[in-house]
Structure 1
């Protein structure tokens, strides 16, 4: 008897190896063994060291920036939303995987039913007469009641792997959510660094403009005195006024830029503007990056960049969904059972004679659907083929982005060096122009022109440093990696 009951389960276990659909093979990409511009100053080629600190922004040696990044990774609302999406994906995975096991429903209750004497099937049994004596006999009670406790068990035997493939696809979707959160962490962190440096750059440029404005105001007063004494000209006075006005006109624009970046930092930190503004001091200079950027090998991009990893996981998920669509065209086998106890009196409910059960095996096979199943499989195959092309595009785009930024990073460093050299020369020019003017060997136009050049080059030095900082951020982002600091919230 036990062998008969176990037979359906044994058959299901033997047939469980009949899974259909293509198995997933991770793609391989042919990349160059080294970057075209990997030898630029400030970078290091070769494989990444395991001990490489992902918190590369610490090379700016700015405690305020380090704290901003840590707070943003803990407080940013988009990251909290991403964490909830991971929870949803995990719950969805658990939901799909639950179909692999039997569903058991337990119930209990009391029932009462009345049989009609006019019932075409049982009514005659209620009022039947004895064939000899004619006496009325009650073969079936017209009023019945019973207590019951039982369970309903249902299980779809996943012979062809449809449910297993769907569960695998759900697990991969969860992996994608984790990678997306990692990529979002990188994006928000880079935005924090960018806006912080831009804010400090605007403050430093405003500082330069205010000092230049003060110097030009003093110079203008001196020119006015010389005009009154007859040693100067109105032309010199007009030029001094124009230079001062031009410098003052820059200050409001720099204040706008400073405020814009402050507001963006507040949004990234999930704080009010007042809370965010209280973090910063006005006298902190623009920090300089002092680290070396490890470029690694081109093949490292496949494992480090979130966009490539998501594209690869998309292929894996769509392959599982394609296999599930193929398996859906095969027969479905169902096992159901309803064991329980049933008795008229509650005291007899758990007696061995009260045991009742029902078991069944069923097969469902959609043999004709007008081509719907084939169309679904074809659609899934097209989605998978498109994901392969998308993956290839992501790899090519990533490789090109790194090459572009490597070249730009090297050129930006050269630009900083040349602009800094030019700025130093303009300072020498101002000193010489002032000496010649005091000696009466040149007019004041030479001083105004030298000061204008000096002001312009000081501003260009700061702008060049900001450009290099932007290239630094972009290059690190293009190279990928997990930027989450250890103290930040985990998924």
Structure 2
């Protein structure tokens, strides 16, 4: 009968434990037009409504770029920082989940103790020092104990804390995915720019070579008495103008190579061989699958992180609300203590205590109410942040689509202009060599050809940059990311290492 009464007494507590105070989280509603197909994607033949491929960079069909992004996923420091933050958040989640378990503390001890005779009363039957007895008493004391406590989650403080920590961990995972997207885009853009500047430098060198041929021709004409010094000087100006472009373009190319080295975990002395050798801008030559707004919002890690942060801070309202109510903890302890180690464990050495502990800040609950207002304010800010992040994702994608379409149209027009300018320069050279045209017309036609070629090379690079920006805005590339490399010394067998004081940073191998 006694056991039955205890069972009925526990039932109300268990019923209360199943109910957590504070608001239950509901994901914010996304309006229908945000999930619709993209405005800028409906009129272009270079876009499709198919889902974005997981490894979008493979659409460039460049093995060197594929390898560089794989290296960046493994060794990039920003990605490793985000991975560390994720492990930290998961540790906090494990700590919160441990709140569902009782806290246990075993202990054991030994002490050598002395009691002065004057502190012992005569009622103990022990003589004091005044009548000839001993002045003190020494003895050993051996003790073992076990303490346990368990918080009854009557108002959901523990469950809401777990819910908040789980939201934080999922937001940290989304932040890691976002870091991967950003780094992949930076690697692709730096690689495309390095190749683009190399291509522009080659165009400048070819221009200088062609202008050099014209300079030689004008010099021969001057020597033969058919030309003028002005013609020679004008040709020399064009040669040097073309030569002057090469150092700047080469400097920009090297700057992008150094950026690639840092992004992939290398030092500036470890430039990637394939990137150094690249002289042609990689471009996607097929229709880019972009999906629609619904798939974009589901894929973008920043949107997911904002939503999970909102969920976590909504749960923290419940944590703060639980402080308005009493906290009930069941605590118990068992001890074994005796002056002789052989007596430890006997019934006379055993002691215990058990009972509930109730704590409550009532009636002064001003602090608890203030924290509830603080938590609600944070949740309101998170909701606005989520909505802003969602709008930013849609805006960035539409902007990237518009700029990509413009880059393609511009590139096509410049391609036609370069072809026409090249034909005009060839015809002018033929007419000039046959004496049917003057040198000024030849000079103008060659200037037009040089300008058109340089503009086309720059536009080729711009198309690649626009494609990368579009892929970044679409938010893919994190789904099948490879494992992050261990940065400990010797973690990468066979790879060179760079010494930094007392630690070693492994460096991935460069391409050939």
TM-score w.r.t. length of structure 1: 0.90
Matching residue of 2:124: 126
**Aligned partner (choices 324, 344, 354) of residue 329 of structure 1:** 324
- Deviation, structure 1 residue 318: 0.6
The whole-number CA distance in structure 1 between the counterparts of 2:228 and 2:483 is 65
Give yes or no for contact 1:188–1:268 (8 Å, CA) kept in 2: yes
Q: Which stretch shifts more, 480-489 or 335-344?
A: 480-489
SS in 2 for 1:273: coil
Report 1:303-452 matches (<5 A).
303-369=298-364, 371-452=366-447
**Aligned partner (choices 189, 193, 196) of residue 191 of structure 2:** 196
- Deviation, structure 1 residue 148: 2.2
Q: Which stretch shifts more, 89-98 or 20-29?
A: 89-98
SS in 2 for 1:366: coil
The whole-number CA distance in structure 2 between the counterparts of 1:123 and 1:340 is 27
**Aligned partner (choices 220, 231, 240) of residue 245 of structure 1:** 240
Give yes or no for contact 1:60–1:288 (8 Å, CA) kept in 2: yes
Q: 1:72 to 1:44 in 2, by over 3 A?
A: same
Q: 1:256 to 1:443 in 2, by over 3 A?
A: same
SS in 1 for 2:337: strand
- Deviation, structure 1 residue 41: 2.4
Report 1:89-238 matches (<5 A).
89-111=89-111, 113-115=113-115, 118-119=118-119, 123-127=121-125, 145-238=140-233
Q: 1:347 to 1:8 in 2, by over 3 A?
A: farther
Q: 1:485 to 1:363 in 2, by over 3 A?
A: closer
- Deviation, structure 1 residue 354: 3.4
Q: 1:3 to 1:123 in 2, by over 3 A?
A: farther
Give yes or no for contact 1:89–1:173 (8 Å, CA) kept in 2: yes
Tell me, yes or no, if structure 1 residue 36 matches structure 2 residue 34: no
The whole-number CA distance in structure 1 between the counterparts of 2:463 and 2:257 is 21
The whole-number CA distance in structure 2 between the counterparts of 1:403 and 1:464 is 21
- Deviation, structure 1 residue 292: 2.5
Deviation digits for residues 334-385 of structure 1, max 9, x if unmatched?
1111113233432232234533211121110001447221111101111111
Matching residue of 1:71: 71
Give yes or no for contact 2:281–2:464 (8 Å, CA) kept in 1: no
TM-score w.r.t. length of structure 2: 0.87
Give yes or no for contact 1:70–1:485 (8 Å, CA) kept in 2: no
The whole-number CA distance in structure 1 between the counterparts of 2:302 and 2:211 is 52
The whole-number CA distance in structure 1 between the counterparts of 2:65 and 2:88 is 33
Q: How many corresponding residue pairs?
A: 476
Taking only aligned residues, the RMSD between alpha carbons, in angstroms, comes to 2.5
The whole-number CA distance in structure 2 between the counterparts of 1:272 and 1:200 is 20
